[in-house]
Amino acid sequence: MACQDAVAGRRAGGVVAIALADGAGSARHSGRGAQTAVSTALDLVTGSFDSLYDDSVDAGREKIVGAVVASVTEDARALGASVSDFASTLLFVAVKGERYLAAHLGDGVIVAERSGERTVLSHPQRGEHVNETVFVTSRGAAAQLLLDRGTLGAVSAFAVMSDGSAESLYMRRDRTTAAAITSMWSWLDGHPPSKVSAALASNLRDHLRLFTGDDCSLALLRRVTVMADKLPEMDVAFAGAFLDCRSPRGLHNRLAVLAALGGADRPVSTAELSARSSLSVSAFRRHARYLRELEPPARSA
Chain segment 245-260, per-residue pLDDT in tens? 889 999 999 999 998 8
As a whole number, the mean pLDDT across the chain is: 89
Closest among 259, 255, 221, 219 to 236, alpha carbons compared: 255
Distance CA(126)–CA(4), nearest Å, equals: 19
Is the per-residue pLDDT at 209 higher than 80? no
∠ CA 29-88-81, nearest 5°, is 30
The predicted model scores a pTM of 0.88
Other CB atoms closer than 10 Å to residue 250's CB: what's the count?
14
Assign domain 5-222 to a CATH class. Answer: alpha beta
Closest by CA to 298, choosing from 3, 97, 80, 49, is 97
Q: Give phi and psi for 212, each to the nearest 5.
A: -155, 155
3-class DSSP assignment, residue 9: strand
- Residues 117-176: tens digit of each pLDDT: 999 999 998 655 445 689 999 999 999 999 999 999 999 999 999 988 888 889 888 999
CA nearest 120: which of 171, 62, 51?
Answer: 171
Least confident of 89-103, 106-120, 240-254, 260-274: 260-274
Between CA 94 and CA 99 the distance in angstroms is 8
